[in-house]
Structure formats: C-alpha cells, structure tokens
Structure 1
C-alpha cells in the first residue's frame, strides 16, 4: 500500500494491515519499515544519488547532520506506514505526500551537478520552507 493510501485510510479511521513476517515474502526490502524517529530529512533517491559527492555538499548547505538523514527507494517510500518527517527530498521526480510535509524535488544528482539553474531551484525550494 502506498503511503498516501495509508494516510487516507488512517484519516477515515480504517486501520491497515501490516505484514508481521516480511521475510516470508520475496520483496522483503520493500516491506521493511524505516526507522524515522530521529530523521530530519527523508531522501527518496537511487543508490547512485545517495553515494554522489554532491549529496554531502547539499546536506552541508542545508545544515542537516548526515546522521539525521534517511535514504530510501521509491518502493520503500510508497510502502512506508509510519509517520514521515516534515522535510522530504525526491531526486527521482514528483512523489505524493500528505499535506503538511515540505517536499523538495530535483533531478538526479548527476544532472543536478551539471545544471546551475536546477541547483538554484532546489535551494529556493529549501529556503521557501525555512523562512
């Protein structure tokens, strides 16, 4: 179930089912719930974006400690059942989040590194939420 669907069900007072033993399924990684209790920024990205040198520079510019950042794939994000942090950044395009969350979006970091205007747009999005 996608996160947006879970939020709608929760708002209607309908509880959702959660797999108790996800290891029994082949898509175990998709069902694994993220621990977001300490998370200030959730980054929905690819492994390549997570390891790109620009990622650390952007986190430094945002003044967010890398220990307070959680990375996930789109599949993990869509299956996340818990509460999400206020700030979410997607490098894989537009994603659906419940109202009240601050959503940043940018192209993949390989593209972002080459496009000055894309970096400026990302920075303006971040600044708009932190004024």
Structure 2
C-alpha cells in the first residue's frame, strides 16, 4: 500500500493491517521499513544518485548532517508506513505526498551536475520552505 493511501485510511480511522510473516512475501523482504526516527531529510533516489559526489555538497548546502539523511527507492517510499520527515527530496521527479510535507524535486544528480538552471530551481524550492 502506498504511503499516501495509508495516511488517507488512517485519517478515516481505518486500521492498517500488518502482515505477520513478511518473510513469506519476497516484495516485503526487499521493501523493509525505514528507520526515520532521527531523519530530517528523506531522499527518494536511485543508488547512483545516493552515491553521486554532488549529493554530499547539496546536503551540506542544506545544512543537514549526513546522519540525519535517509535514502530510499521509490518503491520503499511508497511502501513506507508511519510518519515521514517533513522534508522530502526526490531526484526522480515529482512524487505524490501529503500536503503537510515539504516536497523538493529535481532531475537526477548526473543531470543536475550539468544544469545550472535546475540547481537554481532546487535551491529556490529549499529556500521557500525555510
């Protein structure tokens, strides 16, 4: 179930069911719940973007410590249950999220590295929420 669907059901007072034995389902094994307890920024991206050299520079510019950042795939994000951090950044384009979240979106970091206008747009989105 997508996160937005779970939030919608929760707002309606409908209990979310948990699978007792997730090991029986292969997709449940690959989409483990993220530990977001100390997370200030959730980055929805590919593995290549998470490891890109520009990522650390952007996180530093946002003045967020690296241990307060969690990286996940789009499938993990959509499968995530519970509360998400306020600030979410997607390098996969726009994603659906609750209006209570501050959602930043940009192209992939390989494209962002060569596109000054896209960097400016990302920075303006970040500054709008600060």
If the length of structure 1 is used for normalisation, what is the TM-score? 0.96
After TM superposition, give the deviation of residue 114 of structure 1 in Å: 0.5
Partner of 2:109: 109
Partner of 1:91: 91
After TM superposition, give the deviation of residue 26 of structure 1 in Å: 1.2
Q: 5+ unaligned residues in a row in structure 1: which ranges? A: none
Partner deviation per Cα, 1:8-50 (whole Å, 9 max, x = no partner): 00000001112233222111112x1111010000000000000
Q: Aligned partners of 1:18, 1:41: CA distance in 2, in Å?
A: 26
2:37 paired with 1:37: yes
Q: Which moved more, 1:18-27 or 1:38-47?
A: 18-27
> What is the number of residues matched between the two proteins?
129
Partner deviation per Cα, 1:66-113 (whole Å, 9 max, x = no partner): 000000000000010110000000000111111111000000000000
Partner of 1:26: 26
If the length of structure 2 is used for normalisation, what is the TM-score? 0.97
Q: Which moved more, 1:94-103 or 1:39-48?
A: 94-103
Which 4+ residue blocks in structure 1 deviate beyond 3 angstroms?
Answer: none
Partner of 1:59: 59
Partner of 1:49: 49
Q: Aligned partners of 2:122, 2:41: CA distance in 1, in Å?
A: 14
Q: Aligned partners of 1:104, 1:20: CA distance in 2, in Å?
A: 35
Q: 5+ unaligned residues in a row in structure 2: which ranges? A: none
